[in-house]
Structure 1
Amino acid sequence: MSTREKHNIQEAFKTKMDYDELLNCMRCGFCLPSCPTYIESGKDEAHSPRGRIAMMKAVVDGDLEPDEDVKRSLDLCLGCRACEPVCPSGVNYGRLLEQARDIIYQNKKLSFPVKATRHIVFDQLFPHHNRMVNFTSLVGFYQRSGLQKVARSSGMMKLFPETLRTMEKVLPSIPKKKEMKKRPSHLPPFASQKKKVAFFSGCLMDTIFLPTNDATTKLLQYAGCEIVIPDTQGCCGALHGHSGERDKAKEMAKKNIQAFEDAGVDYIITNAGGCGAFLVDYGHLLEGEPDWKERAVNFANKIKDITSVLIELDFHKLDLELDKQIVTYQDSCHLKNGQKTFMEPRQLLQSITGVDYVEMTDAGRCCGSAGIYNIVESEMSMQILDYKMEQTKKTKAKTIVTANPGCLLQMKLGIEREGLTENMKAVHIVDLLLSAYENANN
């Protein structure tokens, strides 16, 4: 990092960081036991929330240069926000982390490969739904055409890092392009109508995980919801907001607010914890823009996770049944810590006849997925996943339930790494609930 870059970053820290929020941290250390990177790094303070906040403040105060060590500490953070619920001062750590990362990445000169990759991912791919469809359909072609078998049998996959090789194995079967383009804009309820809702379909959820989106809308229909699905909506912007691309995240937020604000619905339903937590925070993201702040708050106030609305509509009181099995639940960090949705998934799982629900030790501790963290910080991610799999195995569960696509892939990755594919599976909660409902009622 050049002297000029350090100077620019330091000046930006002074003008853009929320100094009052930095001062809210009392250095009490309550956050330490909840921080996976602090634990897995051998209790290194530089990789704790308290340590990272201290570094941010020291940079603002001019007591510390924003060097590569500072950047490394911030990059290694999962952004799981597990520190927030246990903080007696209520420090909004996630917001501070996003501010700091944005400042660094907007003022540091990146290598050409990194800059090109970020441009493709953040500017050319995720903001454009049609491009996401085209890209993921290529992955589907790779799976269906026989190329996948050739790549595996020829040893070509050995050219890739172990985590990527394993991730390739656990990717779900990608829908065909024509299926991904058939998204309806309106769905009637199957039962007497109780609510009118809009569905936030997302980007990865509406391509790679399209069957889970379909399962979500079916559950809402069974629960008595009329559903509106605006076709002008797009990616929530979470990946951008967490990766130092806040201006792009704001553009995407505005697009989504416009897409939903005339829908006339009771709620906007999400089925991905990471997306939901970022959508809920649109009011903060756009608080500095007078023309958008109120609209963003109104939008955010309507966000509701699928599990919350199902409980509100008494879906757990309907007949739900599965083959007898032990089930455990892995919390989505952002669903739990961002949307404050914790008990609802458990209530739904415990209401299924045939399910013996066993709570996992540290179910709320991050699994190590964290967006693309398991790719860019593979070593730390796998350490965290190994701990998670230890706790999972202790439950003797046949089924691990999650509520976020990243968590789902990470737990599938863990099952594959542990050689447990014959004895254990990971599923999204809506897929399990739909199976339970249709098994009991058809």
Structure 2
Amino acid sequence: AVTLSLSDWSQRWGLGDEVSSVFLKRGISSLFEWQVDCINSSGILQGGNLVLSAPTSAGKTLVSDILILRNLVRAMQRETGRAKALLVLPYVSLAQEKTLSLKHTASPLNIKVTGFYAGKGGPFAGTEAEIAVCTIEKANSLVNRLIEESRQDVLALVVVDEAHLISDEQRGFLLELLLAKILASTQAQVLCMSATISNPEDLASWLNASVYKTEFRPIELAEYIFVNGNVLPAKLLRDDKCNSIPFSLAQRRVGPTFGLKDPDLVGALAYEAIRTSQSTLIFCSSKSATESCAKFLAGLFAPKEDKRNPVRVSDELVEKRAAILEELARCEGGLDPSLKATIPHGAAFHHAGLTLEERTILENGFRAGTIPVLAATSTLAAGVNLPASRVILRSPNVGMETLDPMRYKQMSGRAGRTGLETMGESYLMIKSSQWALAK
């Protein structure tokens, strides 16, 4: 990484010591080379629009945080009246997480942070510096209100994360409409970011923006195909000559854990990781599949009648899992019976059928390592910043649809925990008959 002192930040980007110290308090004292290059060469310091394409966990968020704070602090100093920023995120869970983290960052600078999602919000008025963290739908409402009140000039910057959703069949039109209104009615700078956008140049052309692309990942990602217990490198799928499963090229074979019944060996793959204290995130094709998977794994990991204990659990861990159950019991609707059965054995599930409060408790338990295995639906891949040592894609299907390359990248990109590991692993599980489908 390229280390920048406080004076470097101030001199190069006009941030000022107070902004630099905010990042230092967050433990950020250095930048990756691509971040420095992006900020210096893309034109964003001069107010230009930018489409930024970088892998999951590469550090896009830090670039946007620097730009947001720089714009608003400069607006406050110059009293331009353009001291509002919109940060647009696709899911309530992401907006909730980002609102909390930005409040810690922005409050020392007297910048207000307001979340607009799931019934939350308030007036977006006055001349005070403010960041509105919004879902796409709420961002549209805010921009409509500003235009109706002829106050659109207060917008200094609009940041859109997960910008590839502009091509989404269900919500893409709303994001396109939002950006069209911002381009036509405001002078705001626009930053669009994505890990999986397939056509950044097309979006940039429409936005009159520059494009910055990097393939950098701070943690190496090892991608595998898992079929009939065989672990094969995923690069074989990209080999045009490889039209059938080359079992002879398998790097290793995986068998059932302790000889227990495990038809597709998802339990064996998960056990490999958690026996070395690594976390495992398993993406399933439906809500019911996440619950079935968590129940199956809990049964696999639980102590057996013959006193075999596949997973050793310390007294401290038992207490921490009991504390999570108590937290969940205090949620509206009480403790889910399935979670009550699975969490003591280190497994849980995560899907939209749980309340926001329940999902947050489970996410925190997973991050802390108290719950080492989490079975989730695909929306978690884009919805929450929840990295894992090992990611398992249980099927090449999502619901009734086949997994596309964009969603695959999002899910597999969750593998690897920055600062804790040097490598993450992803496994796409397929049946022998699905090799052509996976290709």
Q: Decide which structure has greater strand share.
A: 2
In terms of fraction of residues, the more helix-rich structure is 1
What's the TM-score, normalizing by structure 1? 0.26
The structure with higher relative contact order (CA 8 Å, sep 6+) is 2
Which structure would you say has the larger Rg?
A: 2
TM-score, normalising length: structure 2: 0.26
